[in-house]
Amino acid sequence: MKEAKTVDHSSNAPDVAEGKCPVDHTAPTPQAVIPSTALPVVELSRIRQVLGIWARPEKFFSESRAKYGHRFRVTIIPGIRIHVVSAPQDVKEMFLAPRDKVHTGSSNGPIEKWTGQNGLAFLEEEAHLERRRAVMPSFRGSALKRVERAVYDLANETVASWPRDEAVSVHPYAHRYTTLVIMEVLFGEHRPSRQDEMLELVMKMLTFNSRTSSMTMFHRLPAWRMAMLKAMRPNGINTFLKQREQLHKMVDQAIDERIKSGAPGDDLLGVMLSITNKDGSSPTRIEMRDEIMTQFLAGTETTASAICWALEFLTRNPDALDKLIAEIDEGASDKYLDAVVHEVLRLGSPILQIVPRAIVKPIVIGGVQYQPGDRLWASAYLLNRDADTYSQPEEFQPERWFGTKPGSHTWIPFGGGHTRCLGDRIAFTELKATLTAIFTTCVVERADPKPEPAHSRIVVNIPKNGSRVIFRRRKVNAELATN
């Protein structure tokens, strides 16, 4: 007979005497990791991919996901491996990735012609964190309250000036409104002496963003090639560069005026002038200018797009519009208005594909091993329409937000992680203020019953025709409009 094995009941042995299994079955099953090179690649030619993303982005991304799944690679830029991701877990892990492994600044090349390279959009790791903390007061606290008051006043004034009884594209009017708001964010009560000229010049420059040439990184080309492009006047590049030079001079003058006045403030310029970095230095003139230029672009294009999408969806969904108008007229609650804004930003995210994340150190995300040189391009369009997260995802249903807060990795119109949009609260308020002003005073009719598809405008997407509608005076509500 074999001798029975002795069980070691010492403190270092598994506690099997108490009936506990020595194997931890609660531990997660090791996940199989695949290299990013194993992910499917969109089979279309490069030019067809570029044109698809520019002209018909909704169709391109929907069809690609249906064919390739939640992860696929596009080959729109030679030599750069760009992986589109749209699974919530992938997006969550990307947002939570360490700052030293995933960068965003190097992916902002298309907007560098506007922003320069010295603003928050291009900083990484500790430098990004320090700058973000430093400028945060101009988007929160007392500054936010001041801007919110201005937002409602500007909404009432600008909507009242919009054309009536004729079909118009809303986008240029909405864009002017959002630019007026960003002037409040940038300068507060200490306005530059040339603010009117500055506003008009910014508006002219912003029209360049509708050209396909706005997506090219011509600013990085050799001088001889740049000279050739500038000579081709129809592309608008020469005009844009001349206007940018003028605007830089105006911004520099605004900085000089503020320094000379010594006036403090919680506006962005005032906050930047008060910053002392950890090393004792202050932001340079170029850094201040680049942050201001960034806001002229990022702080206006996105919200103008969202206003257009709001009108696009509401005029196609009369039941939702009737409920919204009833709540606005009653004036007792913003519940339905808040839900409408959440739903607009879900279905009509201004940025369909958020800024790509460049992998700078090897990292595993969603069971995929990504290497330096890879870029992750999270799709807000696909994620916000994920049928596993949203029932009837293509339907405009504001009620879905009653009692529900948007998830940080399932609703990403403002991006996420440590680069989430600083002006998200201001943008949300702008949408609420604009919709309130419009539907208090106007009856809005579609100029064309057919839905407007998305169309690229530099890094944002707008309804192809800028949301063409007709504003009729709402005479029955004239008293409400003046109260």
HSE, side-chain direction, 13 A CA sphere, residue 174 = 30
Beta-sheet strand order (sheet of 442-446)? 167-169, 468-473, 442-446
Count of helices and strands (H, E) across the chain: 17, 13
Q: What are the binding residues for heme?
A: 421
Residue 388 CB burial class (10 angstroms; 0-12, 13-18, ≥19): exposed
CA distances from 269 to 68, 88, 139, 192, 328 (A): 46, 37, 12, 11, 35
142-149: list long-range contacts, CB under 8 Å, 24+ apart: 142/266, 143/185, 143/188, 143/266, 143/267, 143/271, 144/425, 144/426, 146/184, 146/188, 146/266, 147/181, 147/184, 147/185, 147/426, 147/429, 148/426, 148/429
Please report where in the chains the tokens 């403190």 appear, as a residue.
Answer: 11
Q: What are the binding residues?
A: 421
The pair of structure tokens assigned to 420 is 């989430």
Sign of the dihedral through C-alpha 362, 407, 128, 279: negative
Closest CA to 286 of 116, 456, 429: 116
How far is 254 from 360, CA to CA, in rounded Å?
38
237 neighbors 218 (Cβ within 8 angstroms): yes
CA distances from 182 to 86, 174, 244, 412, 426 (A): 31, 13, 18, 22, 10
Tell me if residue 364 falls in helix, strand or coil.
Answer: strand
* Residue 113: Cβ within 10 Å count: 21
Closest CA to 248 of 120, 135, 116: 116
Query: E strand or H helix at 63, and its extent?
Result: helix 57-68
DSSP-assigned letters across all residues of 268-308: HHHHHHT---TTS----HHHHHHHHHHHHHHHHHHHHHHHH
287 neighbors 118 (Cβ within 8 angstroms): yes
264 neighbors 270 (Cβ within 8 angstroms): yes
